[in-house]
Structure 1
C-alpha cells in the first residue's frame, strides 16, 4: 500500500473514531479505543475507493464559494418557509438534468452535495459517466426557469472548481461557456 493511501486510511479511521466518540457523548479511553477498533473493522470490511485530488485549495475562491453558498442557503430557506405558509398554493416542481462541464468524481460530488444542502433542491440521480445531475427543484413553472436553474448550477460548479479544482478543471471551466 502506498504512503498516501495509508495516510488517507489513517485519517478516515480517526474521523470515524471522532464520530463514534461524539455519538457516545463523552470522551473516555474506552470509547476512543472502541471507536478506533470499530473504524478499522469498517474500513477493512468496506474499503473506500481511492479518491485522487490533483487540485489545491484556493483561499479566495473558497471564500467566494462559502459566501455565496451561505447566502443561497439563507435565501432558499426563506423561500421554502414562504411556500410552506402559502395556504391554498400548490407548489410546482420539476426534475432538471444538468450536464456539468468538468465532471471529476470530486467535483461532481461536491456540486451535488452543495445543491442538496440548499433548501428547495435535491439530487435524485447522477449519471457519473456523462457527468449529469438530475435535480428536483421547487417552484419551476416554465422552461425559462428550468434553464435559469441550470445556469445557476453551472455557476455553482464554477465556484467549486475555482475553490478546489485542479489546474486542468479550472481551464475547462474558463474555456467552456456556461
Structure 2
C-alpha cells in the first residue's frame, strides 16, 4: 500500500465517528430513525464532511471499562450532589452570592478530550464553561457561590479529577501514563508532607 493510499485510508477511518455523529444528530433532530431518514442523514453528513472539511478527531483506540464505570458513577454522584446544593442555594438565598470565573489548566492537549471535559463539568450544576484558550488548554468556568482562592482551588482540583477519570477511561496510552505519574507524585508529596 502506497503512502498516499495509507493516509487516505487513515483519514477515512478517522472520519467515521464524525460521519456517524452527524447522521445521528440529523435523525435525533427530526425524531425519526427510520431507514429513509437515516439514509438522508448519511448523505447530508457525507456532504458536510466533504464541503466543510471538519478537523480530524484522533481517537485513542483505547477504552478501559473499569475506569469508564468509575467515571460514570462519580459523575452521577456529582450531578446529584451539585443539584441539591444549587436547590439549597435557591431556597436559602441571601445577598450577596459571590460567583467567580476560574481558569483551569488541563493536562491534555486533545481537542476531543478538552471538549469532553468541558461538557462533563458544565453538566454538573453550578459551573459553566465561558471561554476556552485552545492554544494553552485552559478552560474558564463561571462557578456559582465560589469566592476566594480556596474555593477556586477546590474547583480546580475537582476539574482535574474529572479530567483524570476521562483520560484513564478513554485517553491514549501516553495520557494514561501521564495521569498515573501525576497521581503517584501527588500521593508521594502528600505522604512526605504528613511525615
The TM-score by the shorter chain falls in which range? 0.7 to 0.9
Determine the C-alpha separation between the residues in 2 that align with 1:109 and 1:22: 21
The aligned residue for residue 32 of structure 2 is 26
* Cα distance change on mapping 1:32 and 1:51 into 2, 3 Å: closer
RMSD value over aligned CA atoms? 2.2
* Cα distance change on mapping 1:102 and 1:33 into 2, 3 Å: closer
Aligned match for 1:142, one of 141, 148, 154: 148
Tell me the TM-score normalised to structure 1 length. Answer: 0.86
Aligned match for 1:129, one of 119, 127, 135: 135
* Cα distance change on mapping 1:138 and 1:51 into 2, 3 Å: same
1:123-153, CA deviations, whole angstroms, 9 ceiling, x for partnerless residues?
1112222221111100112211111111111
Tell me the TM-score normalised to structure 2 length. Answer: 0.80
Aligned pair count reads 178
Say whether residues 1:160 and 2:158 are aligned partners: no
Moved more, 10-19 or 125-134: 10-19
Aligned match for 1:82, one of 88, 109, 120: 88
Say which SS state the counterpart of residue 100 (structure 2) adopts: strand
1:95-114 correspondence runs (5 A) = 95-114=101-120
Say which SS state the counterpart of residue 135 (structure 2) adopts: coil
Stretches of structure 1 that go unaligned for 5 or more consecutive residues are none
The aligned residue for residue 117 of structure 1 is 123
Say which SS state the counterpart of residue 84 (structure 1) adopts: helix
Deviation (angstroms), 1:76? 0.9
